[in-house]
Structure 1
Amino acid sequence: MRVTKSIALASAGLLLATSLAFAQSTEIRVGAPLEPPALDPTAGAAEAIDVVVYQNVFEGLTRIDQDGAVQPGLASEWTISDDGLTYRFTLHNGVTFHDGTSFDAEDVKFTFDRILADDSVNAQKALYEAISAITVIDPLTIEFKLSRPDGLFLFNIGRGDAVIVATESAANNGTDPIGTGPFAFVQWDRGSRVILEQYGPYWGEKPALTKATYVFIGDTTTMTNALLAGDIDGTYNFAAEALPIFQSNPQFKVVVGTTEGETILSTNNARPPFDKLAVRQAMAHAIDRQEIIDGATYGYGVPIGSHFAPHNPYYIDLTNTYPHDIEKAKALLAEAGYPDGFSATLKLPPVNYARASGQIIASEFAKVGIKLELINMEWAQWLEDVFANKDFDLTIISHVEPFDIGIYANPDYYFGYNNPEFQALNETLNATTDEAKRKELAQEMQTIIAKDAVNGYLFELAQTGVWNAKLEGMWQNAPVEGVVLRDIHWVE
């Protein structure tokens, strides 16, 4: 009887282990350093929103793949008129939202009307202002007319800002997101996690994962311990200083790639003394990029001299526009009327690269007489005070939106840069489809903001992921914001 009982217990244990292994093979727990303030990417600027929902819960007419190329999304195909002003999309049939309501061309029209409305809170509304008319041809066909050609139109409608939402549920997407994607929202435990589960009636190819939990862990030590303990299966943007712990551990893989994150010392150009070019030039000369990259990213960052990603074919190297020169910085400050320097605040969001860079920049600026008070802020507070209310002197942030140099053409944007010449060039770029001309314009725009020292251009943020060695399908690079789950799977 004892032998039989032992066999029974062993069998039960085997069944339990098999059950746990099966659960592991279809579920994933992703460590996220920032909790999103809401879950509607069409109504918020925070990257943390897209990390959870982009291409997982919500989808656009097109989608961006991990190489940055445009792929079909909810639209199966499209045609473009010879003059580049009319786009006609054919939509997939049989698509439903997660609440069971049907998806059709009326939802597309509603989504873009909402983006373009006077009271729109879409963070990238300006990207879609070339849309002059939207016509529903039939339930599965919709037509867009543009007021001017837009070389990035197909890319921009594939971003998180343009995912399709439904009239029935759009108002509640901030807390109860309902999209058409392969994963449906299940619950949000504030301060802890968001849970997604595979949506059974999904119209496209079903992902291997059946469940994904995003666990919010803002502290590097806690994230490290969670990885080592197996409490999470990976993270997409891990602190560079802790990577050596995992590089030689066969239970993990370190995946290093690039992002669209231009990390800048954002400067309030509308507030004295930063409204003076000589002051901004002095700060640019005071910055030692390599010291910041070594100290804040452990060498993983790539130096930049303007607001453009080095991997982009339009990029021009402007890092020598204002080389590190302490004496030149002091002379420019004196020229601007600040021979003894001045005091300012540096407001820092709760991400490692910003906090570490802030310490280094404060030390560098002290050498030229600029005394910085470092103010650490939580993410929601930073979004409200700095981004929305423009109540800041200086801050450090990575702008992770792709091809976003156009933000400098908006004088109401949070760093308050107002240059009519730049604004005109941006309008021309937006209306240009010829690649050679677009490159020429983009490089001219990069040069203008570099010479104007609008912000302190520091480095391009690397994507440094740490994942369980048995996971495959994670994106190495981040051409858009998000942790896309559709290709992630476990292997034996």
Structure 2
Amino acid sequence: MIVASSTLLLTALSVSCIRQDTARTDAIVISVRSNVGPLDPAVSPDTEQLQIIFPAYDNLVSITSDPETGEDVFHPEIASSWTVSPDRLVWTFTLSDRYVFDSGRRVDAEAVKFTFDRLMAISRGPSSSLKEAVGTVEVLSPQTVRFTLKRPLPSFLPLIADRAMFIIDPGVMTHEIDGDHASQWLSTHSAGSGPYRLVKHSPRDVYILEPNPFRPDPPRQIQKIIYKVANDPSVRALQLAKGDIDLAYFLPAELIGPFREDPRYRVDVISSPAMNFLAFNMERPALADRRLREAVAHAIDYEAIVRDIKYGLAEEFRGPLLPGMIGYRPDEYPYAYDPEKARELVASLRRDGPLPEMTLIYPGVSAASDTMAIFIQSSLAASGIDLKLQRLTVPAVIDRIQRGNYDLLFMGWVSAYGDPSNIMNVWFDPKYKGGSGNYARYENPEVTELLAKSLSEGDPQIRASLLRQSVDQVNRDLPYVYLVKNAVWTVASSRLQGLSFDQYNLFDQDFHLMTLTEDETP
């Protein structure tokens, strides 16, 4: 009823042309659907929580996906060029001289070395793979830096293009407290060379960015970027309708209709490496019986999720790999909706004793999350499995993940780049337990060994074979139930000119190059 009422109200707003536009001629307002932070790129567990500082930082290289093949494409950013040795162990980057931190310090090889030394010292999330692979980072000249790897790493360029690898001003160390590498200070400040810098924040509410005064860009029209947190999607939709905000990501499909029909808005549907899944806590003795996990996998109607919950703007996720990734074989994923099979497995389990009590935790970021969780609960109930639900805040979910305090976890996840290591090595390597990966707390020595080999294998055919073996084994072990791969809706005011969306860079927009046209409010 809430969604229906919101849709009717939005339709009324659109038809009546009721819009309270402000006189924002040099500022844009972006709606954020969940609380952000921490803002230290090295420790933030989630790209969406970090989105407000994307305009404040740069990487050595940037990454986009080829629209035809889905393959990764790399572009110069702070590094104007790079070379790699024949054995792919030595990577040498020549830096552009046009990047300047918001402190006024020029970005040089020392800053790059500082950033990567800091990442490896913190060693959380993607940077833990960096620490395992990188032997040394050396300054060869003020504008030249060399990475020497311990072993070949096919995912090295995708890795350094990840948002965790934003280049950071070494001056942040004046804010270090008790050996924290200035992480506490960076959790609420920016220290990058991007076109903007964070100048004001009100936790859980408003974040304001203004131009980096030292960056030698051409004059820009957008002088202020304001991010406002609004957890309720109907609130964000109403803010758009009233002209209070200019851009909103992740609006539910049922709220999009009025905007698609109104020329004052631009609506985009972006193919996305975002997926939803269930993770079983494999350390829970109650979940050790594979029959129970299989019953859950067969009890869920995946087509119904796509059709009735995602409004057709998703597809079944026959994982763990995504289309275009080496080793992707969706036809060999062994689980599908089969309620009769699910009931047979449940009956088999009951002959050995009562089913264990199970609770599913999930981040309550939207009504859509609630709908998915309730659908999963009812699907399992139809097969004879009782599942309790526990709706938590995002920080509470992160805390439970870190402590391993859950039975089942429902959540969404976005692959940062198209190399399979970003899924396989993050989701299935034991070292990621309790961090930003391995949500199933899964451990299989055979898989760990296969993934370690695939991470350094330079021959694409051999690497594909290693990955396929890994995929086959993890699907037999069934630590996850893959649900859907999502498309992403964005709605923007048509006055904002220059938006460009890439599936791996949804939040990375060149706001400093965009223009604002005069609003055409009737």
Q: Same fold (TM over 0.5)?
A: yes
Aligned partner letter, 1:294:
R
Contact 1:286 1:365 in 2 (8 A): yes
Correspondence for 1:363: 378
Kindly report which structure 2 residues correspond to 1:247-396, keeping only aligned pairs within 5 A, or say none. 247-310=260-323, 312=325, 314-318=327-331, 321-336=334-349, 341-352=355-366, 353-385=368-400, 387-396=401-410
Inter-CA distance 483–73: structure 2 relative to 1 (3 Å threshold): closer
For the pair 1:463 / 2:488, whether they are aligned, the reply is yes
- Pick aligned residue for 2:247 from 204, 213, 234: 234
Correspondence for 1:407: 426
Correspondence for 1:397: 411
For the pair 1:52 / 2:41, whether they are aligned, the reply is no
For the pair 1:183 / 2:196, whether they are aligned, the reply is yes
Correspondence for 2:135: 132
Partner Cα distance (2:322, 2:315) in 1: 9
1:171-203 per-position Cα deviation (integer Å, ceiling 9, x unaligned) = 121111111111111111122111111223214
Partner Cα distance (1:245, 1:313) in 2: 40
Correspondence for 2:7: none
Inter-CA distance 484–50: structure 2 relative to 1 (3 Å threshold): farther
1:255-285 per-position Cα deviation (integer Å, ceiling 9, x unaligned) = 0012221210122111122222222111111
Correspondence for 1:421: 446
- Pick aligned residue for 2:167 from 164, 167, 172: 164
Partner Cα distance (2:214, 2:33) in 1: 31
Partner Cα distance (1:371, 1:485) in 2: 48
Partner Cα distance (1:136, 1:127) in 2: 18
Shift of the alpha carbon at 1:143? 0.6
Contact 1:112 1:162 in 2 (8 A): yes
Inter-CA distance 297–207: structure 2 relative to 1 (3 Å threshold): farther
Q: Which SS does the other structure have where 2:285 is aligned? A: coil
Aligned partner letter, 1:381:
A
Q: Percent identity?
A: 27
For the pair 1:115 / 2:119, whether they are aligned, the reply is yes
Shift of the alpha carbon at 1:206? 6.4
Kindly report which structure 2 residues correspond to 1:26-45, keeping only aligned pairs within 5 A, or say none. 26-45=26-45
For the pair 1:88 / 2:92, whether they are aligned, the reply is yes
Correspondence for 1:13: none
Aligned partner letter, 2:59:
G
TM-score by length of 1: 0.89
Inter-CA distance 207–459: structure 2 relative to 1 (3 Å threshold): farther
Shift of the alpha carbon at 1:102? 3.0
Partner Cα distance (1:392, 1:344) in 2: 9
1:184-237 per-position Cα deviation (integer Å, ceiling 9, x unaligned) = 111111221111112232145665532211111110111111010001011122
Partner Cα distance (1:192, 1:53) in 2: 15
Shift of the alpha carbon at 1:98? 0.8
Partner Cα distance (2:510, 2:357) in 1: 46
Q: Which SS does the other structure have where 1:310 is aligned? A: coil
Shift of the alpha carbon at 1:480? 4.2
Inter-CA distance 144–206: structure 2 relative to 1 (3 Å threshold): farther
Partner Cα distance (2:132, 2:283) in 1: 25
Q: Which SS does the other structure have where 1:366 is aligned? A: helix
Inter-CA distance 102–122: structure 2 relative to 1 (3 Å threshold): farther
Shift of the alpha carbon at 1:70? 1.4
Partner Cα distance (1:345, 1:464) in 2: 31
Shift of the alpha carbon at 1:241? 2.1
Aligned partner letter, 1:103:
V
Q: Please list every run of 5 or more consecutive structure 1 residues that lacks an aligned counterpart in the other structure.
A: 1-19
Correspondence for 1:450: 475
Correspondence for 1:12: none
Contact 1:45 1:123 in 2 (8 A): no
Contact 2:56 2:193 in 1 (8 A): yes
Partner Cα distance (2:81, 2:191) in 1: 24
Partner Cα distance (2:397, 2:514) in 1: 32
Q: How many residues align?
A: 469
Contact 2:428 2:448 in 1 (8 A): yes
Contact 1:257 1:478 in 2 (8 A): yes
Aligned partner letter, 2:97:
N
Shift of the alpha carbon at 1:92? 1.7
Partner Cα distance (2:217, 2:272) in 1: 27
Partner Cα distance (1:187, 1:276) in 2: 51
For the pair 1:490 / 2:516, whether they are aligned, the reply is yes
Partner Cα distance (1:224, 1:268) in 2: 36
In terms of mean alpha carbon deviation, does 327-336 or 139-148 score higher? 327-336
Cα RMSD after superposing both structures: 2.3
Partner Cα distance (2:353, 2:342) in 1: 10
Shift of the alpha carbon at 1:76? 0.9
1:271-307 per-position Cα deviation (integer Å, ceiling 9, x unaligned) = 1222222221111111111122233322211111212
Partner Cα distance (1:302, 1:183) in 2: 36
Partner Cα distance (2:288, 2:426) in 1: 18
